Structure 1
Amino acid sequence: MLTMPAACWLCRMPLTLAHHGICSYCQRALKPPCCCPRCGLSTFYPNEECGRCQRHPPSWQRLVFVADWQPPLKELVKKLKFSQQTALSVMLARLILLTWLTARREGRLQRPDLLLYVPLHRSRAWRRGYNQLDDMARYLAHWLAIPCAPGGLSRKKRTRVQHFLSARARRRNLRGAFKVEIEVKGRHIALLDDVVTTGSTVEEIARLLLRAGAASVQVLCLCRTL
């Protein structure tokens, strides 16, 4: 029986390796702009921390993202997050891995020894039916040969949806929302999220991890809103 070849999610051209999900041509187009290696915001000097980070550094040490919050990646993230198209998980996780490997080759990254990801409150997870980061974290941990702790972080309170809140309101909304459930003392943590906007969520979690004794925190995500 003949099988139909898999197609790139973006240009619909046939793929030799179906699980890649995206062809090499489209993949090359998904490049972040010149940005600060710590906060991920635009800068003229990509190998140095920007003035913002030198004055007021975030709690995490590095931020790795595939591209900014623009089509076509923006549309793929929305399909995974809100349309239950979980088949996208392996392809999107692979994009993060390739971006991480590039940054690693450039000498800017500590190799992590534990992968954690931003948890959903149980009521939101029940309504959505899944956490879009579950499968992505599992793939990434496997490829990086490090453990993943699905219950390593918990969300203690149900927060308001962040999309329409200001940066100050986001920080207030997340205060006391998370809890570290495992021992992280001395460990280098990779923290996975799908989209980093103001950074309030990953800042709150990174701060908790460092307070619990983590050696370092690096943030991995698909999109950074610039």
Structure 2
Amino acid sequence: MRLNLSAFFRFGCVLCQSPLKQGANGLCSTCRRQIPRYTYCGGCGAPLQYAACYCGNCHHNAFTWDKMVIIGRYNDPLSQLIHRFKFQKQFWLDRTLACLLLLELYEARRIYGLTFPQAIIPVPLHHIRQWQRGYNQADLLAKAISRWLEIPCLSHIVRRVKHTPTQRGLTATARRRNLKNAFNVAALTPFPYQRVALVDDVITTGSTLNEIATLLRQLGVQEIQVWGLARV
């Protein structure tokens, strides 16, 4: 007699709870369509009328990465999923959010000519904050995508050595000051990867990414991509 597993494991959409025939991605087609997409700059993530690899905003803002890939703006229902994943200990949403990001990576390869990197690096948490949260959300995302794309995930290359106050609510200047000397890189030289991707959840001013990218540049990394769930 064949077991009917659906009788034991009833998968529901993580947003509307409607039944799913396959629970792998966690979102029904209706809720997936409700996540607003927008055309953005492939360099800084700014909204554009037409897709472009770089925009005028890129020339006025000195960011140290090369390309950016994001799912969308930090609006509902995407922001709701991220908040639950990040602050409500719903770590199992990593697969749903990583799958959405993976689809966007394939879109970026088609639209912006994105070339996948040689390694993936999650933005680290300070060990105190990670202990409080129980996990690093960027690390969970990076490891899922690493498995699917078969690209190494370097979870311990970049370390956050300074326990800074939360960045939420700070100005861009205060964020940069808050992050000064907050990170270091534990890597052998010469660093074996020329193209890497930094994975983060929400990108606001990009101060954290700039700090890490600057350290990676010092190791000789030639191309740095930023992969994020949402842009504020």
Calculate the TM-score normalised by the size of structure 1. 0.93
- Unaligned 5+ segments in structure 1 are none
Which segment is superposed worse, 6-15 or 197-206? 6-15
- Determine whether 1:130 maps to 2:135: yes
Matched, 1:195 2:202: yes
**1:148 CA drift (Å):** 0.6
Correspondence for 1:11: 16
Find 2:25's aligned residue among 2, 6, 20.
20
Does structure 1 retain, via aligned residues, the 8 Å contact 2:43–2:58?
yes
1:204 aligns with 2:194: no
1:206 partner letter: A
Query: Which one has a bigger Cα radius of gyration?
Result: 2
Counterpart residue number, 1:219: 226
* 2:155 corresponding residue in structure 1: 150
Residue 179 of structure 2: aligned partner: 174
Deviation of residue 176 (structure 1)? 1.0
Aligned 8 A contact 2:52 2:112 in 1: no
Counterpart CA distance in 2 for 1:25 and 1:100 is 21
RMSD (CA atoms): 1.6
Structure 2 CA distance for aligned equivalents of residues 108 and 159 of structure 1: 37
Give the length in aligned residue pairs: 225
> In structure 2, do the counterparts of structure 1 residues 211 and 45 end up closer, same or farther at CA, with 3 Å as the change threshold?
farther
Q: Structure 2 length as normaliser, TM-score? A: 0.91
Q: Percent identity?
A: 40
* Amino acid aligned to 1:195: V
Shift of 1:48: 4.0
CA distance, structure 1, for counterparts of residue 146 and residue 210 of structure 2? 22
Report the equivalent of 1:32: 37
Could you tell me how far 1:186 is from its partner in structure 2?
A: 4.4
Shift of 1:138: 1.2
What displacement does 1:13 show?
2.1
Unaligned segments of structure 2, at least 5 residues: none
SS of the residue 1:171 aligns to: helix
